[in-house]
Every structure is written in C-alpha cells, then in structure tokens.
Amino acid sequence: MTRIPLVAGNWKMHMSVADARHLVSEMVPGLQSKIGVDKVICPPFTALLAVASLLEGSDIHLGAQNMYWEAAGAYTGEVSPKMISEFCEYVILGHSERRAYFNETDQDVNRKVQAAFDHGLTPIMCVGETLEDYESNRTYDVVFRQVNLGLNGIEFELGESNVPNLVIAYEPIWAIGTGRAATPQDANRVIAEVVRSALAELYGDNIAQKIRVLYGGSVNGENAKDFFVQSEIDGALVGGASLKATEFIQITNAAAA
C-alpha cells in the first residue's frame, strides 16, 4: 500500500500579513510542482486570505489551525468551518496546545471533525501523550482514547482518487517545540500499534491502510528523512521549522524522495 506523503506547516501564532506574504513567496518556488508529496501551509486566520491569493493556481494547499463547530451564530471571537472553507481545504484540529491551553476535550475535537467533514474540509486530527503519560507508560491508552473519542460516530468518506479525507497527526507533547523529537522507531511503533490499529477497528483494515498518519514534534530539515523512511509515517506536521522557507522545502523534499 503506498500512501502519498503529506507535509503540513503549522505556523501557530506567528507572522503578520506582510511576513506571511514574504515567507510564502520564498517557499512557493521550492514547493510548487514538487511531485510525490502533498503540501499544506497553515497560517494564522488573519493571514489566510493573503496566503490564499498567493497560492492560487499552485498545487500547494491551505489549512487553518483551528475552527469552531457551528456554521454561524452568536459565538464572539470564533471562526466557523463555513468561513474557513472559503479559503482552505484542510484544518488542524485538536492540537495539543488547544487541548492544554484552551481546554479542548475529545468531545470538542469530535464535533469539530464532524463539522469539518460537513463543510468539505480535510481535518488533520492531532493526538499525543504528555511527558507524564509517556513516563508512566500510558502512551498507548491515551492515544487510543483520543483516536476513538475524536472519531466517535464519524462516518467515513473517501475523497479524490480514493484518498480518505482524514489525516491523523501523532505528536508526543514532550516532543513539540522542545528539540527533543521521538525516535523514528518509537513514533512508528505508536502509529502502527495504536493509531492505525484503532483506525482499523473503526473503519476496517482497507480504509485504515489508506489514511495518512503524520508524525509531529521537533521535525527539522536534518531529521525528517529518518521519520519518512518508517513504514507507518506518512509525512509530518511541522511547527518551528515551517517558519523557515529553506527548511520547510528540505522537509518536503525528504518526504517526496
């Protein structure tokens, strides 16, 4: 089974509109038309419109970093799936920073995943254990629970060329932004034994084998290829290193190789 790798850059709360324009202009020549990898850029909401216009006509996709689950209404400060679907094809949901700092629960993530599907968006649903979970051997329980509750009751859709409209990112929280990545072998094992086996229980082996599962946490231009040679790792969700054009291009090239 060959899954097309996907590399997504999560800019988090960085970049003014002018900075975003500058960074994307630097990235486009290196990313555009790179075959064998799907490329996704996820700027903050305020830069989506500007980045969307720069990506028009390219094969680089746009994603948001979060959204609410209602389509419209009196929800001051929120952004809806309907709004982001005007610009974006992807949306990151349940990132550990959302879970930790904004109290997002598995139930919230579940509602958002459903709303993303309802609006034709491809969710990149994030799962991953804390350092405490990791050190007390609870990784499998925590990740299994997050996959199951996040996808609870969600019916599956096969998208274009039978590629599922769902991406999972396994991001051990202790590896995010710390420079301490998981070992590629450990990440591969968690993805194989927990993420993909939970997906197989939910959707059957055939679909589970088609769903892209990314690794995230301190991926950079140097270590990316070590993750991408692993059988179960289908790309990366990249934070810090996605803010540098040359490094993000290097990671994308490693995924395409």
Please report, as ranges, the residues that interact with ligand PGA according to CB under 6 A: 10, 171, 176-177, 216-219, 237-241
Q: Which of 78, 95, 132, 201 is catalytic?
A: 95
Q: Tell me whether residue 209 is exposed, middle or buried, using C-beta atoms within 10 angstroms of its C-beta: 0 to 12, 13 to 18, 19 or more.
A: middle
Does the annotation count 157 as an active-site position?
A: no
Is 14 part of the annotated catalytic residue set? no
Q: Dig out the tokens for 245 from the structure.
A: 């054009």
CB 8 within 8 A of CB 238: yes
Asked if 93 and 112 touch (Cβ cutoff 8 Å), the reply is yes
97 versus 203: smaller Cβ distance to ligand PGA: 97
Instruction: Please report how close the Cβ of residue 239 comes to ligand PGA at its closest, in angstroms.
Output: 2
Task: Centre a 10 Å sphere on the Cβ of residue 140 and count the other Cβ atoms it contains.
Answer: 16
Give the residues across from 41 on adjacent strands. 9, 62
**DSSP labels for 147-205?**
HHHHTTTPPP-B-GGG-BS-EEEE--GGGTTSS-PPPHHHHHHHIIIIIIHHHHHHH-H
Q: Which residue is nearest to ligand PGA (CB)?
A: 239
Q: Which is nearer to ligand PGA, 15 or 203 (CB)?
A: 15
* Shortest reach from residue 114's CB to ligand PGA, in Å: 22
Task: Give dist(CA 174, CA 190) in Å, integer.
Answer: 15
Catalytic annotation, residues: 95, 171
